[in-house]
């Protein structure tokens, strides 16, 4: 779980996921196109995403195809985001109450 959050913490990596979301199964070179960094830097980002299980790769001859794995993102939604959303209104109400009470 920590690996997933860490992987998502970088905007380059999030944009790689976005690109795969737009078109799944791209090669390394395709994913490099238009990015302001070297292929090796992209390779490292993809390795981190793969380590976090956010993408899966398949070698296809001399090409490496990258596929999104949406499961970890879904898990974060389930185990983390929704947990906080559930109490969203309650939290806002308490904050409002505190503010209205002024300084005791």
Partner DNA sequence: TTGACATGCAACCATTTAGTTGCCTATTAT
Partner DNA sequence: ATAATAGGCAACTAAATGGTTGCATGTCAA
Q: Is 8 in the site for DNA (CB under 7 A)?
A: no
What x/- string results for residues 41 through 80 when contact with DNA is judged by CB under 7 A? x-xxx--x------------xxxx----------------
Nearest to 29 by CA among 67, 52, 63, 69: 63
Shortest separation between residue 71's beta carbon and a second copy, angstroms: 8
Residues 101, 92: Cα–Cα separation, whole Å: 14
Q: Where are the beta strands (DSSP E) in the chain?
A: 26-27, 55-60, 63-68
Stretch that binds DNA, among 8-16, 69-77, 82-90, 94-102 (CB under 7 A): 8-16
């Amino acid at each position: 779980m920590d690996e997933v959050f860490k992987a998502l913490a970088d905007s380059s990596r999030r944009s790689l996921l976005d690109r795969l979301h737009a078109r799944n199964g791209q090669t390394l070179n395709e994913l490099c196109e238009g990015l302001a960094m070297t292929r090796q830097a992209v390779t490292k980002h993809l390795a981190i995403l793969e380590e976090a299980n956010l993408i899966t790769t398949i070698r296809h001859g001399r090409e490496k195809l990258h596929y999104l794995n949406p499961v970890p993102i879904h898990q974060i939604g389930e185990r983390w985001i929704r947990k906080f959303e559930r109490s969203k209104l309650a939290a806002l109400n308490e904050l409002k109450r505190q503010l209205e009470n002024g300084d005791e």
